[in-house]
């Protein structure tokens, strides 16, 4: 127990809050990814790039209008439209082929988008100004309110998605398509349209999380890489295609990384999530939070 006493309680609490905040953004990114995978069998390698482009759209709209919330809305819509365009041009032709081909195609998309961003916006990181700069005191720290707002907003967006899937007519179509694509088609559900919209929703969520996360770090063309890797870990640990599992895994892993950062550098704290992944593969390959019913 001496080991624990070396870490002051206040630091532990701060890291808990930090972990939950990053966990909620990660959950937002990963739930878009897992939504797309669960419903369409598409592994979207370009998800991190959609996140990054969302942040850039946020930068541009923020510079033009000066309003963070307009930037957030604009980024979600524009990235959702971009997602629909990507789906229609590169993924629809692959419908019915091995799901592995989608990983290849979206890897190509991610290369194109990432280098497009580098070309268009240059290598210098941009900054998104947070919408409010208030702080509250947390022990010796001035903790920014904005971080808490991110966590709340992410929760709200995921909550809306859940309500939409549960009660909206379109959400019911989406769930029907997940269960049996052919039967759904036979019942008159416009399946191609449903798939396009699902991809657009997932992309829009990535775009929104990009804007939300923008103020915490710089916006640059390579920021998507970190997130796609983390999101992949989350969806494997949470059970692929399992929305609730992904959210739980995102928070779980972010918390562990935040605690690990108390002892080692943040770059090395990533190893903790790798360890979680390895243990998951060893003992529960279907996902740590997978329901046994599936």
Partner 1 sequence: MSLASEDPFPVSGERGRQTRRQQALIYWTGFSVILALLVIAPLVLPEFWRRFLTEILIWGLLAMSSDILIGYTGMVSFGHSAFFGLGMYGAAAALTSVEPPNLWLAMLYGLVGAAAVAGFVAFFSTRVRDIYFAITTLIFSQIFYVVIFTWTEVTGGENGLTFRRPPLAIPDLFSVPFTSTTLHWFVVAVVTLSYLVLRRITQSPFGMVLQSIRENESRTRAIGYSIERYKIVAVMLSGLFAGLAGVLYAVQNQFAAPDFVFFLVSGETVIYNVIGGIGTLVGPIVGAAFFLLLREGLSRFLTEYYLIPLGLIFIAMVIFMPQGLLGFMRRWLNE
**Chain positions contacting partner 1, by CB under 8 A:** 43, 90, 93-94, 97-101, 103-105, 107-109, 111-112, 114-116, 118-119, 229, 232-233, 235-236, 240, 265, 267-268, 270-271, 274, 277-278, 281-282, 285
* Nearest distance, CB of residue 37 and partner 1, angstroms: 8
Minimum gap (Å) between residue 102 Cβ and partner 1: 8
Distance CA 64, CA 164 (A): 32
Residue placing its CB nearer to partner 1 in the complex, 15 or 114: 114
CA-based nearest residue to 255, from 21, 3, 9, 53: 21
Q: C-beta of 256: minimal distance to partner 1 in Å?
A: 15
SS3 216: helix
Find the shortest distance in angstroms from Cβ 120 to partner 1.
Answer: 10
Tokens of 143: 């903790």
| DSSP state letter for 214 | G
Q: Which is nearer to partner 1, 146 or 252 (CB)?
A: 252
Whole-number minimum distance, CB 35 to partner 1, in Å? 15
The residue (of 72 and 277) whose beta carbon lies closer to partner 1 is 277
Whole-angstrom Cα distance, residue 202 to residue 98?
21
Closer Cβ to partner 1, 128 or 270, answer by number: 270
Q: Any idea what DSSP says for residue 143?
A: E
Q: Closest CB to partner 1 among 33 and 158? A: 33
CA dist., res. 76 & res. 229, Å (int): 21
How far is Cα 218 from Cα 179, in angstroms, rounded to an integer? 40
Alpha helices in the chain (DSSP H): 2-5, 9-40, 47-65, 68-86, 99-121, 145-167, 169-179, 181-186, 191-213, 223-238, 243-260, 266-283
Nearer to partner 1, 114 or 196 (CB): 114
* Residue 187 CB, nearest approach to partner 1 (Å): 26
């Amino acid at each position: 127990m001496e080991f624990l006493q070396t870490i002051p309680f206040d630091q532990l609490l701060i890291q808990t809050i930090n972990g939950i905040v990053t966990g909620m953004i990660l959950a937002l990114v990963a739930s878009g990814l897992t939504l797309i995978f669960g419903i369409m069998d598409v592994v979207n390698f370009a998800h991190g790039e959609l996140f990054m482009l969302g942040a850039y759209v946020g930068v541009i709209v923020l510079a033009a209008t000066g309003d963070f919330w307009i930037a957030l809305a604009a980024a979600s819509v524009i990235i959702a439209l971009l997602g629909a365009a990507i789906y229609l041009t590169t993924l629809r032709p692959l419908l019915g082929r091995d799901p592995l081909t989608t990983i290849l195609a979206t890897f190509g998309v991610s290369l194109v988008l990432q280098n497009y961003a580098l070309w268009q916006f240059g290598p210098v990181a941009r900054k998104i100004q947070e919408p409010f700069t208030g702080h509250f005191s947390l022990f010796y720290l001035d903790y920014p309110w904005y971080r808490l707002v991110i966590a709340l907003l992410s929760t709200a967006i995921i909550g809306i998605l859940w309500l939409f899937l549960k009660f909206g007519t379109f959400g019911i179509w989406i769930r029907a398509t997940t269960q049996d694509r052919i039967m759904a088609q036979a019942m008159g559900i416009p399946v191609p349209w449903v798939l396009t919209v699902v991809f657009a929703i997932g992309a829009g969520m990535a775009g929104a999380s990009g804007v939300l996360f923008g103020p915490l770090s710089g916006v640059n063309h390579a920021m998507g890489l970190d997130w796609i890797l983390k999101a992949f870990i989350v969806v494997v640990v949470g059970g692929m295609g399992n929305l609730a599992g992904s959210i739980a895994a995102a928070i779980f892993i972010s918390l562990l990384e935040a605690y690990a950062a108390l002892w080692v550098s943040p770059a090395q704290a990533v190893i903790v999530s790798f360890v979680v992944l390895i243990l998951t593969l060893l003992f529960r390959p279907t996902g740590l939070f997978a329901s046994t019913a599936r």
